[in-house]
Chain A
């Protein structure tokens, strides 16, 4: 079956512009996660959705970052007024749910964002 997909795969933007990153999770997966990976660094948690709700937004680095999820499916991560330090690979993952045995996360290929 289809895995997690993300679009675009690459995005180059100018400093100050807004960008939208999209994630399509595996069908039926209620949990969805966004992470950021800067060059040479580990994955950094951004936000977690259970259904369409985000009980944990603690990882969003600033108020320029926001995310939403609709229909318990697709999610978009929006970065407003992009800065050069936002350049990174943005990874999305989904899992069946938070219940025991359902936590295995499946990752998408990521969106490479470069802010010039």
Chain B
């Protein structure tokens, strides 16, 4: 069964900092990997989906990289803002389902 680990579990940074969130997974036979954010009391919002054949995917201030063979993905957030405060989840897809990590809780301090 796919095991997903996200490090760090929690992160607090001052506004404006660049930061990196890490995700590792045990089964490298994935089709793609999706990054989500989850705000308290709300559902998940898709941020980026990166295919297994891709190395990077960018959307605005977000950049996701994927090293499928080593079972790692990173989410880079540039020039962080207080509105970025949320829990960030990575979810590799091995076919019919996405396996979720427990997330990184990010707080951006104004």
Contacts and interface: CB of A to CB of B under 8 A. Distances in A.
Interface of B: 4, 31-32, 34, 36, 42-46, 49, 51, 89, 91, 93, 95-103
Mostly, the B contact residues are strand
A59 B46 contact: no
Q: How large is the interface on A (under 10, 10 to 19, 20 to 34, 35 or more residues)?
A: 20 to 34
Contacts of A33: 97-98
Interface stretch (A13-21, A42-50, A60-68, A74-82): A42-50
Contacts of B95: 56
A48 B96 contact: yes
B96 A43 contact: no
Interface of A: 4, 33, 35, 41-45, 48, 50, 55-56, 59, 91, 93, 98, 100-101, 103-110
B44 A41 contact: no
Given A45-B98, A59-B97, A103 B103 contact: no
Nearest to A31: B96
